[in-house]
Amino acid sequence: RRHEDRLVTKRGEKFALNRSDWTTLPNIKQMYEVIYDEMVDANVAVALDNPVFTDIDGKPEDHETKRFGLAQPIKITKPEWILFADESGFNTSQKKDGHVGGQKFVVERGTTPQLIASTTDHKFTLLPFTSASGEAVCCCIIFQGQGDVPATWRTGVDYTVTPILTEDGKEIDLELNFGEGKYYPGGPTCKYNGKVVACQAYTSESGGITGEILVKILTYFDSINLFPRVPGGPIPMLIVDGHQSCLVPVFVEYINGENNTWKVCLGVPYATSLWQVGDASEQNGMVKLEWYREKKELL
């Protein structure tokens, strides 16, 4: 009680033994040091003779009270060539959705508000690519399934738009409803490095990321020349968590190709909420709240 401003009692939390083995300061430190070395090798950063402290906006700062973070041994020169990707799992079912913003309803005492909910269980993964410059690069969606992605899955539905029906008024005219501002608007398009980057949609049996899908994504980036390669110039860099999909031979072979080399760094597989860009409440957590709200409005 004398130290209750600093000490509290809590129940213990159980987690896997290998997680405790991996989540250590030396491992995190080594991960950053290796990534920094690769950034310099990829010509997207330069090593500094003396580490420099910066403020929260990244500007050099000598005053101790205004410093933000640790002293930095490198200076990133081409942040737009550094990509981050963090996958998040979603489900069309509303059974396990939380209450958006702690929403409550006024009801008669002794009763419980009954909400209509979809129980259709269909999993998919959202894989956004963002850059170290803070820009959105590409939105990728991986549906649970096999084969090609159905057209109406790929385009999505804008429930605020009234669809154009066929002449008999019984069905939706698919051809007249495709496109921006229409009932089937398509996925979000990004503009990056002067290129229009279309939303990418794929399928996998589990609804999760695979090495083959990663190859297709990077192949698409290279096909639109999103990162023009020049001799001695920068190499595009991708930083992801230690997912096993990044270790399959087809992915390793592609990123080491002579004409499409990529620098790919795998972070430690645990404590991603501490280090991984995208695995933060501002991005990962917020999009799930928006997903709950969109499902409710669509229903």
For residue range 210-223, what is the model confidence (pLDDT) as tens digits? 999 999 999 999 99
Do residues 97 and 91 make contact, with C-beta atoms less than 8 angstroms apart? no
Is the pTM higher than 0.95? The answer reads: no
Q: What is the pLDDT of residues 67-110, one digit of tens each?
A: 998 899 999 999 999 999 988 889 888 888 876 666 788 999 99
pLDDT of 97: 80
